[in-house]
């Protein structure tokens, strides 16, 4: 079965070297084995462990007195959890929608053969290099009624100006949207810009010859061609929203009260601060389920796409 080099037929090049006998694949499998074992333990093993804890009555330490689904029932009866879930919905929809619109607009404007394009791109993207803690601190300072925008507007003579979302329980969650959009919109721009650069210019030229205006060309031809970029961007944005933790801690710390809590801060508080480990684990499992629902179809689609491409 092991072909000598001289007999190697050219057509076999495309075929993966799967059937080349044991010695051929062993080193690769061996090389990946340590990582695979580490991931198996530290990702899948730990997920299983947390899931087990979520079915117990653990408080400050894991204990294995099983109580069935009662932690989940309690979770969904808890006001604080439901508030955090609603906040996550508001936050992720606001954050994803605004980032998509801004990112798309900036990308289209930047795609007009702009001078200094690379400098502008650097400016739009630098927030991605900054931690969410620093982002939170900066925006907290800007949105702080005593020192920030409200103060600025009043010093300009608009005495009754009011911008106190940060301390308004109904609006606090939207301050998170502002800061998160600022951090991520440039990234979405980069995704769309890459998509725009892949659009076939012949099609655009043909449409121009037909007399279509720029606006129509974008809305009817180019934007629909950005489906894939759009899909990636939405998945990444929603995934990021679900995972958001640092930003909340730095900006509102879940407050006022628990009005801007997210599931991640709920999880952290229950597990590490309030001695409700089983509750915390149940909430963590809920977060995991949401992430699976978002990410697994995406990864599957990417995988299939890759396989289709490589078979050509």
Partner 1 sequence: MNAITAATDIRPVTRQRSLRLANKFLRRAAVYAVLIGFAGFFLLPLVVMVFASFKDMDTILHSSILALPTSPTLQPWREAWSSACIGTSCVGLRGYYLNTILMVIPAVVISALIGAVNGYALSKFTFRGSNWVYGLILFGTFAPYQVMLVPISKLLGLLGLSNGIGGLILLHTVYGLPMTTMFFRNYFMTVPQDLIKAARVDGAGFWTTFMLIILPMSIPMIVVTVIWQFTSVWNDFLFGVSFTSGANTPIMVALNNLVSSAGGERPYNIHMAGALLSALPTLVVYLLAGKYFVRGLMAGAVKG
Of 83 and 244, which CB lies nearer to partner 1 in the complex structure? 244
Return d(Cα 151, Cα 165) in angstroms, integer. 14
Candidates 67, 234, 291, 301; binder of partner 1 (CB under 8 A) is 291
Return d(Cα 37, Cα 308) in angstroms, integer. 29
Q: What is the x/- site pattern for partner 1, positions 229-268, by CB under 8 A?
A: x--xx--x--x--xx-xx--xx--x---------xx--xx
- Tell me if 98 sits within 8 A of 187, measured CB to CB: no
Candidates 2, 112, 201, 311; binder of partner 1 (CB under 8 A) is 112
Distance from first CA to last CA of the chain, Å, rounded?
A: 26
Residue 3 near partner 1 by CB under 8 A: no
Residue 155 near partner 1 by CB under 8 A: yes
Candidates 89, 93, 101, 123; binder of partner 1 (CB under 8 A) is 123
Structure tokens at 228: 């894939």
Candidates 66, 76, 141, 158; binder of partner 1 (CB under 8 A) is 141
Task: Tell me how many residues contact partner 1 (CB under 8 A).
Answer: 105
Of 149 and 199, which CB lies nearer to partner 1 in the complex structure? 149
Return d(Cα 124, Cα 186) in angstroms, integer. 5
Report which of 76, 54, 75, 91 is spatially closest to residue 261, judged by C-alpha positions.
91
Of 112 and 201, which CB lies nearer to partner 1 in the complex structure? 112
Among positions 42-81, residues that touch partner 1 (CB under 8 A) are: 42-47, 49-51, 53, 62
> Least distance to partner 1 from the beta carbon of 267, Å?
5
Of 220 and 299, which CB lies nearer to partner 1 in the complex structure? 299
Of 171 and 301, which CB lies nearer to partner 1 in the complex structure? 301
Structure tokens at 130: 């900054």
> Least distance to partner 1 from the beta carbon of 85, Å?
14
Residue 32 near partner 1 by CB under 8 A: yes
Among positions 165-194, residues that touch partner 1 (CB under 8 A) are: 182, 186-187, 190-191, 194
Return d(Cα 120, Cα 124) in angstroms, integer. 6
């Amino acid at each position: 079965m092991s072909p000598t080099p001289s007999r190697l037929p050219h057509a076999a090049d495309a075929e993966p070297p799967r059937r080349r006998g044991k010695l051929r694949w062993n080193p690769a499998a061996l090389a990946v084995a340590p990582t695979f074992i580490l991931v198996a333990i530290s990702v899948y093993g730990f997920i299983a462990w947390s899931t087990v804890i979520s079915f117990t009555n653990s408080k400050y330490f894991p204990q294995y007195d099983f109580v069935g689904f009662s932690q989940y029932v309690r979770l969904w009866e808890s006001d604080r959890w439901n508030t955090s879930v609603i906040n996550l919905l508001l936050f992720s929809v606001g954050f994803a929608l605004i980032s998509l619109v801004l990112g798309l607009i900036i990308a289209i404007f930047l795609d007009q053969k702009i001078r200094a394009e690379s400098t502008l791109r650097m400016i739009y993207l630098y927030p991605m290099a900054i931690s969410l803690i620093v982002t939170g601190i900066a925006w907290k300072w800007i949105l702080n009624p005593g020192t920030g925008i409200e103060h600025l507007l009043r010093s300009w003579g608009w005495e009754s100006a009011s911008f106190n979302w940060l301390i308004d329980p109904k609006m606090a969650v939207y301050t998170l949207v502002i800061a998160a959009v600022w951090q991520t919109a440039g990234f979405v721009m980069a995704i769309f810009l890459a998509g725009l650069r892949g659009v076939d210019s012949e099609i655009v030229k043909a449409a121009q010859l037909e007399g279509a205006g720029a606006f129509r060309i974008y809305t009817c031809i180019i934007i629909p061609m950005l489906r894939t970029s759009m899909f990636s961007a939405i998945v990444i944005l929603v995934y990021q929203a679900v995972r958001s933790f640092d930003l909340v801690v730095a900006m509102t710390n879940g407050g006022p009260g628990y009005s801007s809590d997210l599931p991640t801060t709920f999880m952290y508080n229950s597990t590490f601060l309030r001695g409700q480990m089983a509750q915390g684990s149940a909430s963590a499992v809920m977060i995991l389920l949401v992430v699976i629902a978002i990410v697994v179809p995406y990864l599957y689609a990417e995988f299939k796409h890759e396989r289709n491409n490589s078979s050509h």
